[in-house]
Structures are given as structure tokens and as C-alpha cells.
């Protein structure tokens, strides 16, 4: 009984928000709430219309406190995959999402939404590189070591390069998860070169063009979509200041400094800072040259400022996680650093969920 009431209250809160923001008339709202109340009484849950689902996914993005890219929340493309029931169909839908959103480099922010609760994607991101612990040190992305072991235990074998693309791992219910190799046609990678320092290519760095986060849960009106992978485009610092630069990731700053001919014995030469800037210049240059969407952290901050203005105009308070919104290089060169944000969590939203491995 209590669960039914709790579900209804969450549904009512979301549907009222939706009808208010899209300015639907009261009679339709009352009707819809009655319909939902009946469905919850019969089955303990209810089904969102496509329009309600799409709006919920967009508002969840608008409510994502750690996201600097929220200006474009209304333009999210929503692929409704709730009718899918098997692992093979899920894999096909994900291949479609990868190709559709990559769009030959002109990235389209997109989300695929699978049926609530039954489907689970074990990947952190649909495209990510494997990591291996060997007696000669780590190969690939250290962040992927645990998941790579899971993939190998399922029968997958990598080539042991620094950039092995991991398979999709899809689970239906509590069955054994199935793995699927990602076709080349779904994969776009960018080789990293520098606009003026020709030796940069000797670092042999590359990265995948589009980030697809696939391990978060989308919650709308009390319904939990545990498989709702979404993509946008990268902000350059994610690759240049974290994925390549972190000591616990690809840890390339010393190699970059060598290519730049920098003296690394004293911190006070700021060799790490010079290496970081040139690495980020290279990432932005390489993506632009390859025609793959990317945004620099200054432009992204300006877009976020526009988002703040538009939300105030709409009478909505912008909430945020300051420590995530500031970029990892030159944070104080953006307006974000110099203001405070309330880190209030509201739904619809995207949440972490317990790993299945």
C-alpha cells in the first residue's frame, strides 16, 4: 500500500511539472493523473508517454549539477528503446545510438532509454579503452582494469595495446551478461597532433571522439531507468587535463615535457603546467582538424553563463557542484570559479547506481 502511494506522489509531482512547463490545460492534467492512478493501483507502476519520457530526460540533464554543458538541455535527442527485451536487441540499439550520435563527427547529444529495471549495461562508457596489469607495469587505461578483467572472464580477449576498445557487456534480469564487440563503423577515433610542434605525434596518442556514459540511472517521476546511456561532445580538458594527464590514468606529462624540451628537475619551472597547456592545445587542434565536435573550457564556461541567465529569466534557480563545474586547468580564468552554487539535488536527474561487478 505504502509503495503505491509513494509512487503516485512522485508521479504526480513530475506530471504536474511537465504540464506546467509545456502549458497543457488543467482538464488534460486531471485526466492524465487519473489514468496514472489507475495504472499504479493495477500494476504498482505506470508508463510514461514518449513526450513525458523525452521531457523528463531533458529536465534530468538540466538538473545535473556537475554538468557545465547544460545550455543545450532542450535539444537532447531521445531514442525510446523501452520495447526491447533481449541482449542482442540492446546491442543493436546501442550500435545505432553510436552511429546516429557520432554523425561523422558533428556530434548529436542523444540518450537511449531502455525498459526500467530489467536491462543493465555494465560498461562505464560505451566506448572506452581496456587496462591490463602486467609484470612490466600497466598497459592501457588503469581506470578500466577491473572491468577489463570482467570482460576477459566472459571470454573476451584484447590485443593488449594501449587503446583496445572494450566490448559492450549487456545483462537482462539476473541472467549471465553477454558481450558484443563494437563494429568499426560505430567507432571514431582522433589521433593527437600539435599545430606547431611536429614531434608531438611521436607520443602516439589518440582518443575516442565521443563520450557515451552508460552506467548512470535516469530517474523520472519515481521510475528508475537503470539503462539510459547518454552522450554529448567532449570538453577538451577531460582528455587533455585528466584522461592523458592524471598519474593514475595515461600519465603522459613527463613524455610531453620531454617533447617540449623542458627541464623537469624543479617544480618551479612549471614544466607540468606548460606540458598541460600544450597537451590541451593539441587535443582541441586535433579534434577540430578531424571535424569532431569538441568545446574548450573557456567557451563551455561562457555557454554555462548563458544557461544561468536563461534559467534566471525562466524563474528557475541554477544548482551546481562547484568543484565539478570549474575546469581542471585555468579554473580562475572562468566566471564559475568566482561564484557559489547550491548543490541541491532534485529529480528528474541522473544518479550513480551500484555496480553489478
* Angstrom distance (rounded) from CA 330 to CA 243: 17
67 versus 150: smaller Cβ distance to ligand HEM: 67
User: Distances from the Cα of 191 to the Cαs of 114, 130, 200, 284, in angstroms?
Assistant: 33, 18, 11, 11
| Residue 32 annotated to the active site | no
Nearer to ligand H49, 168 or 257 (CB): 168
Measured CA to CA, the distance from residue 313 to residue 45 in angstroms comes to 35
Work out whether strand 294-295 and strand 234-235 pair parallel, antiparallel, or are unpaired.
parallel
Piece of 61-69, 195-203, 275-283, 336-344 that binds ligand HEM (CB under 6 A): 61-69
Cis check for the bond before 169: say yes or no (omega within 30 of 0).
no
Q: Burial level of 325, CB count in 10 A (0-12/13-18/19+)?
A: buried
Q: How many residues bind ligand HEM (CB under 6 A)?
A: 19
Dist. CA 131–CA 248, nearest whole Å: 11
- According to CB under 6 A, which residues from 73 to 102 bind ligand HEM? 76
Judge whether 232 and 109 are in contact, CB under 8 Å. Answer: yes
Choose the binding region for ligand H49 from 47-55, 75-83, 231-239, 250-258 (rule: CB under 6 A).
231-239
271 has catalytic annotation: no
- Is residue 187 close enough to count as binding ligand H49 by CB under 6 A? no
Strand order in the sheet with 349-351: 223-225, 217-220, 349-351
- Quick check: 246 binds ligand H49 (CB under 6 A)? no
- For ligand HEM, the binding residue among 67, 119, 257, 329 (CB under 6 A) is 67
Residues in contact with ligand H49, shown as a per-residue x/- string from 191 to 230 under the rule CB under 6 A:
--------------------x-x----------------x
Positions in the binding site for ligand HEM (CB under 6 A): 61, 64, 66-69, 72, 76, 109, 111, 230, 232-233, 235, 238, 295, 300, 324, 350
Active site residues: 67, 70, 233, 238
Amino acid at each position: 500500500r505504502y509503495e503505491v502511494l509513494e509512487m503516485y506522489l512522485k508521479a504526480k509531482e513530475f506530471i504536474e511539472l511537465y504540464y506546467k512547463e509545456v502549458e497543457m490545460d488543467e482538464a488534460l492534467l486531471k485526466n492524465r493523473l487519473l489514468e496514472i492512478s489507475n495504472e499504479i493501483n493495477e500494476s504498482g507502476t505506470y508508463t510514461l508517454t514518449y513526450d513525458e519520457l523525452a521531457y523528463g530526460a531533458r529536465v534530468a540533464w538540466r538538473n545535473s549539477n556537475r554538468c557545465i554543458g547544460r545550455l543545450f538541455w532542450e535539444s537532447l535527442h531521445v531514442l525510446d528503446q523501452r520495447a526491447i527485451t533481449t541482449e542482442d536487441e540492446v546491442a543493436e540499439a546501442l550500435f545505432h545510438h553510436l552511429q546516429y550520435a557520432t554523425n561523422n563527427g558533428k556530434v548529436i547529444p542523444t540518450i537511449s532509454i531502455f525498459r526500467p529495471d530489467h536491462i543493465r549495461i555494465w560498461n562505464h562508457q560505451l566506448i572506452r579503452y581496456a587496462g591490463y596489469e602486467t609484470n612490466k607495469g600497466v598497459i592501457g587505461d588503469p581506470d578500466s582494469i577491473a572491468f577489463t578483467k570482467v570482460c576477459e572472464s566472459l571470454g573476451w580477449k584484447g590485443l593488449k595495446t594501449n587503446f583496445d576498445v572494450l566490448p559492450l557487456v549487456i545483462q537482462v534480469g539476473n541472467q549471465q551478461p553477454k558481450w558484443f564487440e563494437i563494429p568499426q563503423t560505430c567507432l571514431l577515433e582522433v589521433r593527437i597532433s600539435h599545430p606547431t610542434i611536429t614531434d608531438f605525434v611521436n607520443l602516439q596518442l589518440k582518443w575516442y571522439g565521443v563520450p557515451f556514459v552508460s552506467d548512470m540511472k535516469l530517474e523520472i517521476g519515481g521510475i528508475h531507468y537503470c539503462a539510459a546511456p547518454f552522450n554529448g561532445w567532449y570538453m577538451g580538458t577531460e582528455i587533455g587535463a585528466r584522461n592523458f594527464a592524471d598519474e593514475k590514468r595515461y600519465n603522459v606529462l613527463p613524455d610531453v615535457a620531454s617533447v617540449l624540451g623542458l627541464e623537469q628537475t624543479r617544480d618551479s619551472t612549471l614544466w607540468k603546467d606548460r606540458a598541460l597547456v600544450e597537451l590541451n592545445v593539441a587535443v582541441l587542434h586535433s579534434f577540430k582538424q578531424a571535424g569532431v565536435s569538441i568545446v574548450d573550457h573557456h567557451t563551455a564556461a561562457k555557454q554555462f553563463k548563458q544557461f544561468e541567465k536563461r534559467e534566471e529569466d525562466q524563474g528557475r534557480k541554477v544548482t551546481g557542484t562547484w568543484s565539478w563545474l570549474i575546469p581542471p586547468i585555468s579554473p580562475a580564468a572562468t566566471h564559475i570559479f568566482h561564484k557559489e552554487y547550491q548543490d541541491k539535488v532534485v529529480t528528474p536527474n541522473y544518479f550513480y547506481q551500484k555496480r553489478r561487478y
